[in-house]
């Protein structure tokens, strides 16, 4: 527990650093401790809190927040090998925060395979939202009447830079390969995974190989009567 005289103690709620303001207080207090000759550990901030603040500092100045919101089988597959995801509840099943999440984003970034799969739906699910389709091959985006569609190609960093230049603040990254590329590039800040109570044995995995460990901070896990389990994580590195 923080000493009562520690500046900024009231900014911490149950050990969870709520804002970058609290992180600035930690940096200031640890510097004061160092300047006064005290060990920085005199302030009882947890190492996980300090690492979280360091991750915020690394992301300072990044204009675009990128999130993943996806459903998977319990064994970690987002679709079958043929691209079908018939094991996911039709229409998303019971309300589990997807509509609220979608309302919070400015743009969706999806790969060509995801786009082609969405075209088979009865209706376009992203009405009114700007959708970026990533492909190096020409696409016939006029297939969807009324959709706000653009095509881009390039690395995740290049895509993010273009989105930032167009005023995007929150991007929803979707599709197995696209998600994996953005995670490997260190450009995802939040991952929300809803696990469906089924094992399918084989399919397209949500995650792939990584050049190094990606540290996550668990934010919240919610269970639903249908058996859905939604977990949210913040990406630290």
CA angle (106 as vertex; 105, 112 as ends), nearest 5: 90
How many angstroms separate the CA atoms of 128 and 137, rounded?
25
Phi-psi region of 203 (alpha: psi -120 to 50; beta: other; left: phi over 0): left
CA angle (194 as vertex; 117, 67 as ends), nearest 5: 75
Task: Report the C-alpha dihedral over residues 202, 89, 131, 184, rounded to 10 degrees.
Answer: -40
Query: Mean pLDDT over all residues of the chain?
Result: 79
pLDDT digits (tens, 9 = 90+) for 176-223: 999 999 999 999 999 999 999 999 999 999 999 999 999 999 999 999
- Provide mean pLDDT across the span 168-173: 95
The 8-class DSSP code of residue 52 comes to H
Domains of the chain plus CATH, in order, are 9-59 (no CATH), 65-235 (3.40.430.10)
**Most distant CA pair in the chain, distance:** 67
User: Of the given ranges (29-38, 40-49, 57-66, 67-76), which has the lowest mean pLDDT?
Assistant: 40-49
Distances from the Cα of 140 to the Cαs of 74, 151, 188, in angstroms? Answer: 35, 10, 28
CB 33 within 8 A of CB 39: yes
CA gyration radius, the chain: 21
Q: Return the exposure string of 185-210: e unless at least 16 CB atoms fall within 10 Å of the residue's CB, then b.
A: bbbbbbbbbbbbeeebeebbebeeee
pLDDT digits (tens, 9 = 90+) for 26-42: 555 655 555 565 554 43
């Amino acid at each position: 527990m923080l000493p009562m005289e520690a500046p900024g103690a009231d900014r911490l709620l149950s050990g969870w650093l709520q804002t970058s303001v609290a992180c600035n207080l930690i940096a200031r207090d640890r510097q004061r401790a160092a300047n006064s000759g005290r060990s920085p550990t005199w302030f009882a901030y947890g190492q996980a809190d300090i690492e979280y603040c360091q991750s915020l500092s690394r992301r300072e100045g990044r204009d675009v927040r990128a999130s993943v919101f996806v459903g998977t089988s319990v064994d970690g597959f987002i679709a079958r090998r043929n691209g079908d995801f018939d094991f996911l509840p039709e229409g998303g099943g019971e309300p589990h925060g997807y509509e609220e999440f979608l309302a919070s984003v400015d743009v969706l970034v999806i790969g060509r395979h995801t786009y082609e799969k969405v075209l088979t739906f009865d209706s376009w699910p992203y009405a009114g939202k700007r959708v970026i389709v990533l492909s190096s091959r020409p696409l016939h985006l006029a297939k969807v009447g009324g959709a706000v569609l653009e095509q881009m190609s390039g690395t995740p960093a290049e895509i993010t830079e273009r989105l930032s230049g167009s005023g995007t603040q929150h991007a929803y990254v979707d599709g197995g390969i696209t998600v994996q590329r953005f995670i490997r590039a260190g450009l995802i800040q939040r991952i929300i995974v809803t696990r469906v109570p089924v094992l399918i044995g084989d399919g397209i995995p949500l995650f792939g190989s990584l050049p190094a460990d990606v540290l996550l901070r668990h934010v919240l896990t919610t269970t639903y009567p249908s058996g859905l389990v939604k977990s949210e994580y913040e990406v630290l590195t």
